[in-house]
Structure 1
């Protein structure tokens, strides 16, 4: 454990972090882990044991403390109020492994002793539909802050944190590369909600200066940023693109079907161009600057395994 005087974080090496698992049981099998990992990730049992079990233990302790605070508040007011879900934000670049982190955490938290109901919502569903993006000249900026319907996302989170028993989130299809019309994910009385997306720690542009700024992260009880060297993330993106070229892109209904017949060399060039022209710019301008707003920073090495964890001091 490294705690520098002038840093807001305590930094744990992989080895030091792994020791904080204590007696937290591993409740996932190797086959279940394989189903949860990204298509170009090889997530081992040891990775789950060393990184995700201590993280789950910490989250459970935070959630328990939050529940105790809710009970104390009810006692102060002399009335019983509806408990609202504990909301965890997971941020990071395209291709860094946010989705895998979120799915692993969801599965482990669901298997906690009190078996909470854990929902995972991705902010992809709050992208504007392609026809709106095309109309406003934003298709080349898909994933940038301006391509999201932040007002709708804020409304969803407001309703969630207000204790609504059922809230709905739009659904996005990576196959069609678009919002699926009239299709929603229903979130019904969850105990924990994980909000995963590249934009969750970004601050919106407030056009009306007379209104107070409301950030997506204002609704989080805890936030996690998945981090890695940019050159590694780029390679993971290119590798994933080449895998998709031979799998999802070959489907007749795929938006990217035009890339299915590319050679390996051509696919690598196209993926690199997309990275440099879109994803790298978004990472540098809008995602990387939000890293130090997170409560926990999970730093990954070249082979996708986590090298260290930073935990914000309390």
Structure 2
């Protein structure tokens, strides 16, 4: 296998796509034969080739980590003479708006659940831990939705703490992208999983709290973390394309929070998408999301075609 250096004394090994793909296993592809449409994201050209060459090797690597963690946990319990509840392996997935985090999370969930030693894999998005719109409006944060201050971090930390403590049944709030708000009284129940994937733009962020010397952060609960990366101009273009497609689909629904954009013409749609990108998504990317890139265990580098070009793996 050929490795490239990302920088002198870098903590990462950069692995070219072709070398990464050589670690694949075609036998895993049977799990995707009927699932492609459900796994593919909007405007993201997920292919069997991408699954074979990128995500199957990634699932194999994570499977090694999970198996090692389970073995260590078992031996430690035996050493201490104790028997405690199963503790799930938690994976965090971060990255910009429109980069394809959700697709990465769905594909990994499907692949990891196919391995025999951890068949139950749950996926939770941090959208459910956004404050309700009424709270954001009260705090004048509607235009800062997605920024660190718009999330109930304490609630997210409590959820992860309950999961990591081995509690058998833990609830996560649910979010509607159609209504652009939390769904009151509706929850996703995480029940005795082997692995939990937590996906969101904020999962690797560290909000400085100098008044608390022993502050705990969301990423402290992760056993493995992934940052999905791409160049800023590609992210911008993907966001514009997604916004254009939503105008013809979800925005047409009168229940949609963004229904007011349904009757824009093509030029107006592009200009509105650019405005939202420049005033909200780009500042959040620059200030809060991209700085967390090197806090991850692994970085997936995407090219302008939305396909992964290389993988950076943190040295053990």
When normalised by structure 2's length, the TM-score is 0.96
| 1:122-146 Cα deviation digits (max 9, x unpaired) | 0000000000000001000000000
Quote how far apart the aligned CAs of 1:114 are. 3.4
| Residue of structure 2 in register with 1:247 after alignment | 249
Task: Deviation per CA, 1:137-156: give whole Å up to 9, x if none.
Answer: 10000000000000000000
Q: CA deviation at 1:42?
A: 1.3
| Correspondences of 1:133-282 after superposition (within 5 Å) | 133-206=136-209, 209-210=211-212, 212-282=214-284
- With over 3 angstroms needed to count, the CA separation of the structure-2 counterparts of 1:210 and 1:289, relative to structure 1, is closer
Task: Note the aligned Cα RMSD (angstroms).
Answer: 1.2
What's 1:58 paired with? 61
Q: 1:42 to 1:210 in 2, by over 3 A?
A: closer
How far is the alpha carbon of 1:312 from its aligned partner? Answer: 0.1
User: Residues 115-130 of structure 1 correspond to what in structure 2 (within 5 A)?
Assistant: 116-130=119-133
Unaligned runs of 5+ in 1: none
Q: Is 2:13 the partner of 1:2?
A: no
| Counterpart residue number, 2:93 | 90
Deviates more, 1:252-261 or 1:24-33: 24-33
C-alpha contact 1:3 1:9 (8 A) present in aligned 2: no
Structure 2 CA distance for aligned equivalents of residues 27 and 151 of structure 1? 40
Do the aligned residues in 1 keep the contact of 2:15 with 2:311 (CA within 8 Å)? yes
Pick closer, same or farther for the CA change 1:72–1:312 going to 2, 3 Å: same
1:26-105 equivalence runs, <5 A: 26-105=29-108
**Partner Cα distance (2:188, 2:37) in 1:** 24
SS at match of 2:226: strand
In structure 2, the CA distance between the partners of 1:59 and 1:137, relative to structure 1 (3 Å rule), is: same
User: Partners in 2 of 1:309 and 1:147 — Cα distance?
Assistant: 31
CA distance in structure 2 between the aligned counterparts of 1:266 and 1:64, rounded to whole angstroms: 52
Q: In the TM superposition, what is the alpha-carbon distance from 1:28 to its structure 2 partner?
A: 3.1
How many aligned positions are there? 313
